[in-house]
Amino acid sequence: MKPWTIVFYLTLCISTGLTSVSFAAPTDVDIHFESSPPSHLTYNDYPRLDEVVLQALNQTGADWRMIDWFTSALYDINVEFKLKQQVFEVIAKQKTIASKRYHDSWFYWAQLRRSLESLHYAKRIFQTIDPDAIRLHLSLNPKLSGNWLITLKSTPKNVLVLGGVKKPGKQTWQPRLDARNYVQTAGLFDQTISKVIIIQPDGKVEKHPIGYWNQTFAEIAPGAIIYVPLTVEELPVIYPNDRSQNPNDLVVELLRNRLP
């Protein structure tokens, strides 16, 4: 091949994105472990998840036997997490309309907004990060590229109660205590509500009956969120997009992506 041909070929490859020379973008992983300062791992290739988790345990000095893998999680921070702002806009509409209609729920929508503002969020990947489990299934052990966050947790001691209650916040987790006990302690706003939503620490969403007529015991794991749905106001036709979205469902999805 003549020299001028080589130059032309390289120029063409670069301009069209066909170059065979590739430069691996680094993989950056932030590590949060409650018993040590935040740390950071950087790779020049694409490590598998189990490799990253094992190095995170080593770097933080965390004892893997003390890690609660049900609560520990992987978050994708490659893109901006926009759901928080969307939820806040929907809550604002619900509060405004409820207030104009003199419905008491306006207060609880406003209170929920304050509770949600005090939390932090990122896009969670809903799978275990237990290296013993993920290395057995290739689909659970992807190669990582870009920016990620791994949170390592010991077993929590609380549950978080939010939504239609007078005293939202954390309560001490107790074995064999069901959702009805927690929401009654928090001061249930609507005594006629029959079910509440449980977001288990792994992100799984469940509906637990709490009415005296339908109550059955269902286990709640430490670290879970108990969300009491609020009455949804029917929006005017000027909000066609919002009318197709259930505000309570959006709140639940946001809470599934809560950072510890």
Asked if 27-79+127-152 and 89-121+156-235+244-257 have one fold, the answer is no
Q: d(Cα 64, Cα 59) in Å, to the nearest integer? A: 12
Q: d(Cα 160, Cα 75) in Å, to the nearest integer? A: 21
Domain 89-121+156-235+244-257 -> CATH class? alpha beta
Residue 67 identity (one-letter amino acid): I
Q: What is the pLDDT of residue 242?
A: 58
pLDDT band per the 50, 70, 90 thresholds, residue 245: confident
pLDDT band per the 50, 70, 90 thresholds, residue 85: very high
Q: What is the largest CA-CA distance in the chain?
A: 87
Domain layout of the chain by residue ranges: 27-79+127-152, 89-121+156-235+244-257
Mean pLDDT, range 241-253, rounded to an integer: 84
Q: Which two tokens stand for residue 192?
A: 């006629």
Mean per-residue pLDDT of the chain: 88
How does pLDDT run across 150-182, given as a tens digit for each residue? 999 999 999 999 999 999 999 999 998 999 999
- Asked if the model's pLDDT at residue 98 lies above 70, the reply is yes
Mean pLDDT, range 236-248, rounded to an integer: 70
Q: What is the pLDDT of residue 22?
A: 41
pLDDT band per the 50, 70, 90 thresholds, residue 75: very high
DSSP bridge pairs for 195: 209
Residue 149 identity (one-letter amino acid): L
- Asked if the model's pLDDT at residue 6 lies above 80, the reply is no
- Asked if the model's pLDDT at residue 241 lies above 90, the reply is no
- Asked if the model's pLDDT at residue 20 lies above 50, the reply is no
In percent, how much of the chain has pLDDT > 90?
Answer: 77
CATH value of 27-79+127-152 in 3.40.30.120, 3.20.20.70, 3.10.20.700, 3.10.20.30: 3.10.20.700
Long-range interactions of 207-212: CB distance < 8 A, separation 24+: 208/178, 208/179, 210/178, 210/179, 210/180, 210/183
Burial 199-232 (b: 16+ CB within 10 A, else e): bbbbbeeeebbbeeeeeeeeebbbbbbbbbbbbb
Q: Is-contact 122 259, C-beta < 8 A?
A: yes
- Asked if the model's pLDDT at residue 8 lies above 90, the reply is no
Q: d(Cα 226, Cα 169) in Å, to the nearest integer? A: 10
Q: What is the pLDDT of residue 236?
A: 72
Q: What is the pLDDT of residue 183?
A: 97
pLDDT band per the 50, 70, 90 thresholds, residue 216: confident
The pair phi, psi for residue 113, each rounded to 5°, is -55, -45
Q: d(Cα 172, Cα 244) in Å, to the nearest integer? A: 37
In percent, how much of the chain has pLDDT > 70?
Answer: 87
How many other CB atoms sit within 10 Å of the CB of residue 172?
11
Helices then strands, each counted (H, E), the chain: 8, 10
Q: Is-contact 146 28, C-beta < 8 A?
A: yes
Q: d(Cα 166, Cα 186) in Å, to the nearest integer? A: 6
DSSP3 helix / strand / coil % (the chain, rounded to 5):
35, 20, 45
Pairing of strands 205-209, 225-228: unpaired
How does pLDDT run across 195-208, given as a tens digit for each residue? 999 999 999 999 99
